[in-house]
Chain A
Amino acid sequence: METARRSAADLLDVARVLLLVQGSILIATTIEALIWSFAFGGAAGTPVAISGAAAAAIFVARARLRGDRRWPRRLVFIVEGVILATLALDTVLAIALTGALPPAVALLTRLLLPISVMVLLRRASDARPTPASIRPVTTFEGA
């Protein structure tokens, strides 16, 4: 049981660091989107709000991440799902229009990073000791 708890804590430790870098990337993206919206007169403003909300969601979920809490994991999964879905669209476009994959850094920050976070959170959830395993062993009277 102790090993399982230690393992879950170790995995969450890695996930927290990855989420810190990912949240920081989303902050940088939000700032860039804000600057572009000023630079291009007709630029859409909604992505600024969505990027900012995604950054906030990642940081809130990271701060509240614990083995026995589901909602931070779900919040992270939603953000990662959106990032992965847009990368899928980008990859289809990149292959169709240029015959090449998106740039390497895009694959690192939008494929490797989200998938690593999701796998770590999933494994930490699986490694968490279940209530049944925590319950002390009981013996029947008279046994």
Chain B
Amino acid sequence: MNMPLAHEHVAGLAGGSPLYQIGAEHLAAVIALAALPIIAWLLRRGGMPTLAPIEWLLVALLAGSAAVHAGLAVGHDHGAGISALFVIDAALLGLIARRVWNGGRAGRLGTAVLVGSIGAYWISALRGEAPDQVGLATKLGEILALAIIVRPAPSMRARRLPSVAGSIAIALLVVGTATSSWIGAFRAAAAEPGAVAGHHVHGGSVAPPGTILPAAEDRDPTPGERGAAADLVAAARVALAPYVDPAVAAADGYRVNGLAGTDFHASNPANEHDDRVLDPAHPETLVYAVAPDGRPVLLGAMFLMPTIGRPGPTIGGPLTVWHAHQHVCISLTPPGLTGLLSPLGMCPVGSIDVPLTPEMIHIWIVPGAPQPFGDLDEAWKRAYLEAVASRP
């Protein structure tokens, strides 16, 4: 009996990394930010100050960050201590915004509060809190506010050193924010590594960046599902046996040119468009590794659904959970994979962001593999390849 899993989660973007989403606990912050124009309109009735455009921008950025932190104090559930810090941050940012609004300077207090706020975000991310779009947008706004505050005064423009030092500091803050966000996103996903390796998400765990994992029922497979999964692996072992020789795979249309590394995916464009689903005799992609002695080793195959959003058949229940990828950067010059969408919202220039791929599943036929589906354990794979290389 095949138990259908929650595949609507894969068809949409739920089940993906929080890095590209707005966290539910941050909705209050978004509402607070949206209310800011109303407050500005009320203040306008009391008379508007005469400010330069850059001062208006600074007021808006500081007030926006204050509103977001006030909202976080309400919506976050990280305890009273963290909520108090959000309130203090919001109050200080509001105070500095008011100071600039009244024609004053943000000064050292402004620099200290913004650097502190950005630093706190880094620490939070490095400790494994999954960053989301609200946090990232707020930090970019704070970095922009800091860039305004630390820019040299017009009378100091002729002196290049302060200007260059300020620019380097801003660049480091941007790079540091991106780096800490990547680390936070991957650490949050690694908090429950079993779920990631098995390619499904239990309650409370999150997907790593670039991957969409369906929310699976936390249950054991039924005997029928176990049998179906075992039959599938057995059929795949028989059907894939000839492809141990990459030359045979090449003759059948698999792109094995440039075979290298320990996770080489050789695709077959004809099989990708044949509308066959999970056919062990016609896998869309073969997965090879190269042993330390240079010998190619067939590890298994990857089966791909013909269209995006169409759920894969979970014939083995929780054993055969499909996954998809999101926000994959593809180069146009020349065509090729260039990474994942940055926390800063960009793919490398000249690349496009593919927001969602068809669902896929790996089947490992290599003898002794710790699990036939999902991710193959890296340590086991390395040990296996070394053992292959030591054989005559």
Q: Which residues of A contact B (CB under 8 A)?
A: 10-11, 13-14, 16-18, 20-21, 23-33, 35-37, 39-44, 46-48, 50-51, 53-54, 59, 82-83, 86, 89-90, 93-94, 97-98, 100, 102-110
Contact A94 B355 (CB under 8 A): yes
A77, B338: Cα distance in complex, Å: 25
How many residue pairs between the two chains, A and B, have CB atoms under 8 Å in the bound complex? 185
Contact B57 A24 (CB under 8 A): no
A105, B343: Cα distance in complex, Å: 8
A59, B261: Cα distance in complex, Å: 37
Interface string of B39-71 (1 = CB under 8 A from A): 000000000000011100100000000000000
Q: Which residues of B contact A (CB under 8 A)?
A: 12-13, 20-22, 52-54, 57, 133-134, 136-137, 140, 143-144, 147-148, 151, 167, 170-171, 173-175, 178-179, 182, 258, 260-261, 264, 308-309, 327, 329, 331, 333-356
CB distance from A5 to the nearest CB of B (A): 13
CB distance from A137 to the nearest CB of B (A): 29
Contact A27 B171 (CB under 8 A): yes
A43, B174: Cα distance in complex, Å: 24
Q: A13-B52, A105-B343 are in contact. List 6 more A-B contacts (CB 8 A).
A: A44-B331, A47-B347, A98-B355, A102-B353, A103-B133, A106-B345
25 inter-chain pairs at a CB distance below 8 angstroms, sorted by A residue, are: A10-B54, A11-B53, A14-B57, A21-B170, A24-B171, A24-B174, A25-B344, A28-B174, A36-B329, A40-B337, A42-B337, A47-B333, A47-B347, A47-B348, A47-B349, A50-B349, A54-B349, A86-B350, A90-B347, A93-B354, A103-B341, A103-B345, A104-B22, A105-B137, A109-B140
Which label, helix, strand, loop or mixed, suits the secondary structure of the A interface? helix
Looking at B52, B173, B339, the one whose CB has the most chain A CB atoms below 10 A away is B339
A91, B279: Cα distance in complex, Å: 34
Which of chain B's residues have a CB closer than 8 A to the CB of A103?
20-21, 133, 327, 341, 345
Which of chain B's residues have a CB closer than 8 A to the CB of A11?
53
Which of chain B's residues have a CB closer than 8 A to the CB of A44?
331, 333-338
| Known interface pairs A21-B147, A44-B338, A103-B133; A29-B353 also in contact (CB < 8 Å) | no
A28, B171: Cα distance in complex, Å: 8
Question: Which chain B residue has the least Cβ–Cβ distance from A88?
Answer: B352
CB distance from B185 to the nearest CB of A (A): 13
Contact A102 B355 (CB under 8 A): yes
| Known interface pairs A32-B339, A97-B308, A105-B136; A20-B347 also in contact (CB < 8 Å) | no
CB distance from B368 to the nearest CB of A (A): 25
Question: Which chain B residue has the least Cβ–Cβ distance from A16?
Answer: B151
Contact B344 A28 (CB under 8 A): yes
Which of chain B's residues have a CB closer than 8 A to the CB of A35?
339
